[in-house]
Amino acid sequence: MIGWGICIATLDRPDVLRRTIAHALSQTVPPAQIVIVDASDGWQASRDAIAAMLQSRPAIRLDYVHSEIRSSTTQRNTGIALCDTEVIFIIDDDSFMYPDCAEAVLALYEADPDGRLAGVRTALVETAPAPPPEATAEAEAATGDLPAAAPLRRKASGNRGRLQVLQRLVLGSRAGRWFHRKVLMQNMQETFLRYDGPRQSPLPEALAARGAGSVSFMPGCAMSVRRDIALAEPFDPALRYYAAYEDVDVSYRYARHGHLVHAPAARLHHFEAASGRIRRKKVIVFQLLNMVVYLRRHAERPEDWRRAYRVMLYRRLLGESLKDLLSGRWNFPQMRGVLIARRHWRRVWECPIARLDDWYPALQKRILDGL
C-alpha cells in the first residue's frame, strides 16, 4: 500500500497532541513518518513524550522540530518539507482518526494509478473514537515533565447551539436554504472567491465506484495530498499572524493538479480543543483581508476580481449582521469585523505582490494589537 505520513503544526497543546498521535498509531495501516512542528516554549517535553510513544514502533520515523515562528502556515510548510512519504495527511493537533481512517483514504489513492487524484478529505464526524489507552499511558510513564492525562477541554462554543437550532429551522424549506446560503453565506462556495473558476471535470470511475465524491476544498483538520503537489503549492507565507481560509486556499490550488475527493468511509473527529483563539471580530477581519492576498497572488488577472470582492464584502456585512442578531451578540462583533476589513482592503490590494510577504504580516500585527 502507498506509504503515508502525518504533518502537524502545534502550539501549547501537548495533552491533545498526544491523543492525536495515539489515534494515528492505532491505524490499521500505520504511518511511515510523523512530522510535528511545535512552536511551544516547552516543546522538548512534548517531543520526549511523543518519542516514548514510538519506542516500540521503530518502523515509524519521527521528525519533531521546533519553530521560532508561531504561524500555522509557516509551521506546516516546514513540516511538509520534511515529509518524504508519497501521501501526506495534513491534520490539526486535535484531529482524532478512527482506526480505519488512513486505510480508507489510501484505498482511493491506490485506485488511481494514473495520478489524477490530488487530495482526499476525510469524513468529519461528531463522535470521537475511544482513546487508545496503551499509547497514552506509555507516554505518561516516560516523562514527568508533562502532567498526567486529564479530561480534554473543548473551546467555548458561545451561542453556536442557538444558531444551529435556527439554521435547522431555516433549512427545512427551499426558501430557507436559499437564505442560509445566499444571505447568511453559510457556505464556502459563497465566501471564498474561486479565482481559477469552478472545476467540473468528471471523476474517474474507479474513484466514484468506491464512494468518493468531488469537493472544491478541504479543511485543514482533515486533508491529505500527494507530496509533490503539497511541495508545489505551499501554504501562503504572508499569513503570519492569522491564517483564516489558508486551508481553503491551498486545497483549492491542489485541485489545479487533479481531483479533490471526499472519502465517506474515512472517519475523523475534530475535537476543537480549548486554546487562545482570537475573537470573532478579528476572525472576520482576516477572512476578508486574507482573501485579497489570495486574489492578488493567485488570480491570473486580479483586477478582474475587484468588483466581485466589493460585492462579497457588502454581502458579508449583511450576513454577519444577521448572524450576530440571530445569535444574540448585541455588540455585533462579526459585523464590526467586516467594517474594519472594509477600511483596510484597498491598501492590501494596492500592495505590490513582491512586498506582500513582509508588508502584510506587519498589517496583521497592527490589527491584532489594536483591537
- Confidence grade of residue 187 (pLDDT, cut at 50, 70, 90): confident
Cα–Cα distance between 371 and 363 in angstroms, integer?
A: 12
User: Which SS3 state, helix, strand or coil, does residue 343 take?
Assistant: helix
Helices within the chain (DSSP H only): 14-25, 43-53, 72-82, 101-110, 133-142, 160-170, 174-178, 188-191, 205-208, 227-232, 246-254, 280-298, 306-326, 333-350, 356-370
Per-residue pLDDT at 317 exceeds 90: yes
- Confidence grade of residue 179 (pLDDT, cut at 50, 70, 90): confident
What is the average per-residue pLDDT within 154-179?
A: 67
State the chain's mean pLDDT as an integer: 90
Percent of all residues in the chain with a pLDDT value above 90, rounded to a whole number: 74
- Confidence grade of residue 166 (pLDDT, cut at 50, 70, 90): low
Non-local CB neighbours of 168 within 8 Å, separated by 6+ positions: none
- Which listed CATH number (3.30.450.40, 3.50.50.60, 3.90.550.10, 3.40.50.1700) goes with 4-149+195-270? 3.90.550.10
Largest CA distance in the chain: 59
- Confidence grade of residue 339 (pLDDT, cut at 50, 70, 90): very high
Per-residue pLDDT at 7 exceeds 60: yes
Residues of the chain with CATH 3.90.550.10: 4-149+195-270
Q: Give pTM, 2 decimals.
A: 0.90
Q: What is the pLDDT of residue 323?
A: 92
Q: What is the pLDDT of residue 195?
A: 95
